[in-house]
């Protein structure tokens, strides 16, 4: 699969093709916080979209900066945040590529951005850039499409093996946790994923 570029996401939002935007905080993220695996701190939400996860994190004590390639979901995120706690900061940013105000962060989270980097070199570049934006021993929670999906012919996220995932990140991160789960969509679908927690070397 080729890398998904900014123009693709502009088209996705314009055409309403945003199955990832469920309007609910991701259950995998919620579980990581409720289990005490991920605790409050300064967090970077990469590909934050309309801000659902970022706003939920802020309500649980995290100081959140959300970044996205596309302005349309960020506008929604700012309105939702203002109606809630008003505790997040949302920025239009191309990542990797542009500097992120407030860097370095203690924590990072992405729900499907890492696996959208097309080839092995792009994935490694993403991991390296993220490491540069984290403090020493900082944590990164990544939700990654899995090749174990029982019906890979169905539309869904890019799918990686465990080896592909770890090979891309291990020059920069240690693997603290990697477990199977699923990703929900706003169309009622579920896709198998890896829930990955990495710690900066």
Contacts 24+ apart (CB under 8 A), 5-10: 6/69, 6/70, 6/94, 9/69, 9/70, 10/69, 10/70
pLDDT digits 0-9 by tens, 55-71: 999 999 999 999 998 89
∠ at Cα 173 (119, 167), nearest 5°? 35
Q: Between these two residues, 43 and 13, which has the higher pLDDT value?
A: 43
Section 11-30 average pLDDT? 77
**Is pLDDT at 4 greater than 60 in this prediction?**
no
Domains of the chain by start residue, with CATH = 22-200 (3.40.50.150)
**Is pLDDT at 48 greater than 80 in this prediction?**
yes
The 10 Å Cβ neighbour count of residue 22 is 16
The 10 Å Cβ neighbour count of residue 10 is 14
**Beta bridge mates, 110:** 46, 142
Tell me the CA end-to-end span of the chain in Å, nearest whole number. 29
> Are the C-beta atoms of 141 and 173 separated by less than 8 Å?
no
- Tokens representing residue 197 in the block: 């927690």
Section 85-104 average pLDDT? 94
Q: Which of 163, 166, 157, 164 is nearest to 197 (CA)?
A: 166
pLDDT for res 3: 45
For the ranges 6-20, 117-131, 151-165, the maximum mean pLDDT occurs at 117-131
pLDDT digits 0-9 by tens, 147-186: 775 555 556 677 888 999 999 999 999 999 999 999 888 7
pLDDT for res 159: 83
pTM of model > 0.75: yes
**Is pLDDT at 2 greater than 50 in this prediction?**
no
Q: Please give the backbone phi and psi of residue 175, each rounded to the nearest 5 degrees, phi first.
A: -90, 110
Q: Between these two residues, 149 and 125, which has the higher pLDDT value?
A: 125
For residues 11 and 187, give the distance between their C-alpha atoms in angstroms, rounded to a whole number. Answer: 19
pLDDT for res 155: 62
pLDDT for res 199: 98
Q: Are strands 42-46 and 105-111 parallel, antiparallel or unpaired?
A: parallel
Q: Between these two residues, 9 and 83, which has the higher pLDDT value?
A: 83
């Amino acid at each position: 699969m080729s890398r998904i570029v900014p123009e693709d996401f502009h088209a996705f939002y314009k055409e309403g093709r945003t199955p990832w935007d469920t309007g609910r905080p991701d259950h995998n993220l919620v579980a990581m916080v409720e289990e005490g695996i991920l605790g409050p701190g300064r967090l970077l939400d990469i590909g934050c979209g309309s801000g659902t996860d970022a706003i939920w994190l802020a309500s649980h004590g995290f100081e959140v900066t959300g970044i996205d390639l596309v302005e349309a979901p960020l506008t929604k995120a700012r309105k939702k945040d203002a109606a809630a706690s008003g505790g997040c900061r949302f920025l239009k940013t191309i990542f990797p590529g542009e500097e992120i105000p407030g860097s370095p962060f203690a924590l990072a989270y992405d729900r499907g951005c890492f696996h959208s980097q097309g080839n092995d070199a792009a994935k490694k570049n993403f991991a390296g850039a993220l490491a540069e934006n984290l403090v020493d021993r900082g944590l990164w929670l990544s939700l990654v499409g899995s090749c174990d999906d029982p019906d890979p012919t169905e539309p869904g996220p890019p799918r990686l093996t465990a080896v592909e995932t770890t090979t891309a990140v291990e020059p920069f991160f240690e693997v603290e946790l990697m477990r199977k789960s699923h990703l929900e969509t706003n169309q009622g679908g579920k896709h198998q994923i890896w829930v990955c927690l990495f710690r900066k070397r």
